[in-house]
Structure formats: C-alpha cells, structure tokens
Amino acid sequence: MATNTLEDSDDEEYSETESALETALRQLSAAATQVNVDDGVIERLKHPTRVVEVGVPLKRDDGSVEVYTGYRAQHDDVRGPYKGGLRFHPEVTAEECVGLSMWMTWKCAVMDLPFGGAKGGVVVNPKELTTAEKERLTRRFAEEIRDTIGPKQDIPAPDMGTDAQTMAWFMDAYSMQEGETVPGVVTGKPPVIGGSEGREEAPGRSVAIVAREALRYYGKNADEATVAVQGFGSVGANAARLLDDWGATVVAVSDVNGAAYDTTGLDTHAVPSHEEEPEAVMSYDAPNTLTNEEVLELDVDVLIPAAVGNVLTADNADDVQADIVVEGANGPTTSAADTILAERGVPVIPDILANAGGVTVSYFEWLQDINRRQWSLERVNDELESQMLSAWDDVRSEVEARDVSWRDAAYVVALERVGEAKETRGLWP
C-alpha cells in the first residue's frame, strides 16, 4: 500500500486523480502552517497507526466461493477509541481507507467527541449480492477483523453500501463469540437492538443545519434558498428533505443514474431514497432530468455533493454556479477545485464539519449502549443541534480571526485539539 507522506504530495502540480489520502495530506499540510503544533506531532499524523487487510471468503447462494478483500485503517486514537464507518463498494482501497480515517480523526476533534479516526470496508459491489450473501459476508468480515475492533478500541458504523441491518449482523457476529451482547461494538444499529433514534438521519440533519447556518452567515434564510443535492442516500436524502421541510426549494436530487429536476421545487419526500429503493430517483415524475455533472453546475444558493468523492475537480470548479458548497460526502472536492473555488470566492463548508452529525449521534448511541439507556428522538435531535451549533461557532471564530477558508478553520480547530492531547499525553520515547 502506498502510504504517501506529506512530502510526496505537496508539490504544486495537482493530479486530478488525487486519492482521498493525497487530498487529506494536502489539507493537513495547509492547516499545519496555521497552528502551533509540534512538528513531530504533525509528522506522526501523516501516518495511520495501522491498516489491517483481510481476505473475506463468501459462499454464494449457488455454492461457489469468492474471496473479497477487506480493510480497517486506524489513523489516531489519542482522544479516544478509533471511530468510523465501513464501506461496501467496488472502489474501496487501503489508501482510500487511510485518507478517510484521517478525516474521521479531524471530524471527531472538530465536534469535540472523545474518539479518534478509523475507516474500513470491503471491495465488493453490494448490489450484486443477495440479502443472505450480504449477511454472510458481513459476519465473516466481523470475524476477520475481530481482534482490531471492540467497544473501547475501535467502533465501526455505516457508510456507503452499508446500513443499520449490516451493523445488526456485525454486532451479532461479534457478540456471539464474546458470549455476551456487546451493543457498543458498532453504532448505526436499529434502535430495537441498542441503536439510537435519529442516527440514520443524523449526517443529513447536520448537513442541513450547517447549510442553514451558512446561508444565514451570508445573509439568506433557508426558506429563501434554492438547493441542489447529488446523491440521495443516508446523507443526501435526509439533508434534502429537512431543507425542504424548512422551506427551501430543492430543485434537483440525483442518484447514480442522474437527477430529477424541477425549478419550482421537488417534493423530496416523494422521491425514493437509496434506502427506500436504490437507483429509483429517476422514477419520480419530474418535469426535467439532468446528468450528475449538470447537477454540480446548477445556479443555486447551496450545492450539496453527497454521493462519492472527487466530484468537484479542476475540470468543473470554474463552472460551479452555486453561492455556497456544503460537503455532504467525504472528500467531494479535490485540492485543485478547492483552490479554484476559493479564488472565485465560493465558500466550501467542509465535510469534517458538515456531515459530522453521523458520528455525533454515533457517540450518543455509544453512550446509550454502555449505560444501557435509550434516549428519545427529541433529546437526540436537541443535543445534535446544540453540538452542531457549538462546532459551527468554533469554526466560524477561526474563519473570522485568521481570514482563512472554512476548511482551514475546521482543521485548525481539530489539529489544535489533537495536538494538545498528544503533547499533554507525551509524544513517545
């Protein structure tokens, strides 16, 4: 695996095939110049603690056997157990998991959660598996990474291609071998087995909250705003529907096949989300359709890329007409696009703040699990709202004090917290 160092990736020439790790390292490099954190700490943070690679055999329903590759990357745990999602996606790589695990470290620190950063996944297209095959694959993956995870060590959660049911199988497989029910080993489970109310909607809810605050900061109310959303899954659908509920005009939403588009506003609750029916956005009776590329170039107040990474690049950043970009997906903006958008004065509210509602409610779920308590949806949403507003204020203060981008400001908040924890605990011999 290529674990790039900062030196490998901070040259001026940006590659438009930039990996999540390269993007994460460039962002760390930019933020490191803004903070008073020991060089040794910064050097340590360029590298993950460990990356576990496993083979995951699966007996298909037809009796044949396939072996998939799975990963768990753990970046840093100075502030608490490793935390981050599991992807089932054909493009998962070790390098991508490392980059995504770094973002989890910063995300948890921006939110001031007592967690570090991890990410994992299996290189598989879940749409090609039956439900029974997905269950066997999940159980075997849980078994293969059993020694790496645990409720005080590393706590997985859903991400692209995985959901609450995946977490239920994972928790059951882990618990069976432990000889006791261990709900705190994963978050994002169904509430009936220790999941938190509101976890499924939480990353989209935080994207909507942050979009509302960003609009307000730049002088507009949510109910006056037009919005376009790429991706209509856990993040995109929940963000679009909440903004719609708050009076925004959501003109376009997309899935992998393209977008439903209506300049007068879509009824977002009537558009099937990925969870309700994958690849069904185009079944909504909209007056117009768009390609995924066209969605990114719509003249709207807020653009929310909430599907895959690297969709805003040097090739299309000049064509982005939105007034504000709020990152729902992890890493949707390449470094080159970030620079172009900054030069054009388009604020980009970063993933590590905007979609952090997911891991924040995961933290609430973990607290509920270890205390054997169940919070009401109202309590979850109230605490999420106040935690998001507090993080928003921390980041906004840095934007104003340092005259830096929203991304650099979020990194400053995160890096100072991680750096202080490392220096206080003592670095290493």
Ligand X SMILES: O=C(O)CCC(=O)C(=O)O
| Residues tagged active-site | 119
* Beta-sheet pairing, 348-349 with 117-123: unpaired
Query: For residue 94, what are the contacts with CB-CB under 8 A and spacing of at least 6?
Result: 1, 51, 53, 71, 73
Residue nearest to ligand X (CB): 85
Instruction: Identify the residue among 111, 157, 322, 340 touching ligand X (CB under 6 A).
Output: 157
Beta bridge partners of 157: 85
Q: Closest Cα partner for 387 from 114, 125, 160, 113?
A: 113
Place of tokens 């903004």: 243
* Beta-sheet pairing, 65-76 with 50-59: antiparallel
How many helices (H) does the chain have, and how many strands (E)?
A: 14, 12
Least distance to ligand NDP, CB of residue 127, Å: 7
Classify residue 57 by its DSSP letter: E
Which contacts (CB < 8 Å, 24+ apart) does range 211-214 have? 211/239, 211/243, 211/302, 211/304, 211/324, 211/326, 211/349, 211/354, 212/243, 212/246, 213/389, 213/392, 214/302, 214/324, 214/326, 214/347, 214/349
Instruction: Identify the residue among 93, 234, 249, 335 touching ligand NDP (CB under 6 A).
Output: 234
Which of the stretches 42-50, 82-90, 173-181, 391-399 binds ligand X when contact is defined by CB under 6 A?
Answer: 82-90
Which of the stretches 8-16, 167-175, 304-312, 316-324 binds ligand NDP when contact is defined by CB under 6 A?
Answer: 304-312
Instruction: Identify the residue among 116, 121, 233, 350 touching ligand NDP (CB under 6 A).
Output: 233
173 makes contact, choosing from ligand NDP, ligand X, none, with CB < 5 to 8 Å by partner type, with none
101 makes contact, choosing from ligand NDP, ligand X, none, with CB < 5 to 8 Å by partner type, with none
Which of the stretches 130-138, 158-166, 397-405, 418-426 binds ligand NDP when contact is defined by CB under 6 A?
Answer: 158-166
Determine, following the binding rule CB under 6 A, whether residue 278 of this chain makes contact with ligand NDP: yes
Query: What track of x and - describes contact with ligand X for positions 237 through 266 (by CB under 6 A)?
Result: ------------------------------
Handedness of CA 386, 388, 390, 396 (dihedral sign): negative
Q: What is the distance between the alpha carbons of residues 352 and 329, in angstroms, rounded to a whole number?
A: 10
- The interface with ligand NDP within residues 348-377 (CB under 6 A) comprises 355, 358
CA distances from 70 to 86, 92, 106, 177 (A): 10, 9, 24, 20
Query: What track of x and - describes contact with ligand X for positions 94 through 123 (by CB under 6 A)?
Result: -------------x----------------
Q: What is the distance between the alpha carbons of residues 129 and 139, in angstroms, rounded to a whole number?
A: 14
Determine, following the binding rule CB under 6 A, whether residue 84 of this chain makes contact with ligand X: yes
- The interface with ligand X within residues 167-196 (CB under 6 A) comprises 187-188
Determine, following the binding rule CB under 6 A, whether residue 284 of this chain makes contact with ligand NDP: no
Instruction: Identify the residue among 22, 144, 255, 398 touching ligand NDP (CB under 6 A).
Output: 255
83 makes contact, choosing from ligand X, ligand NDP, none, with CB < 5 to 8 Å by partner type, with ligand X
| Count of beta carbons in the 10 Å neighbourhood of residue 372 | 9
Interacting residues with ligand NDP (CB under 6 A)? 85, 158-161, 203, 230-236, 254-257, 274, 278-279, 292, 306-308, 328-330, 355, 358
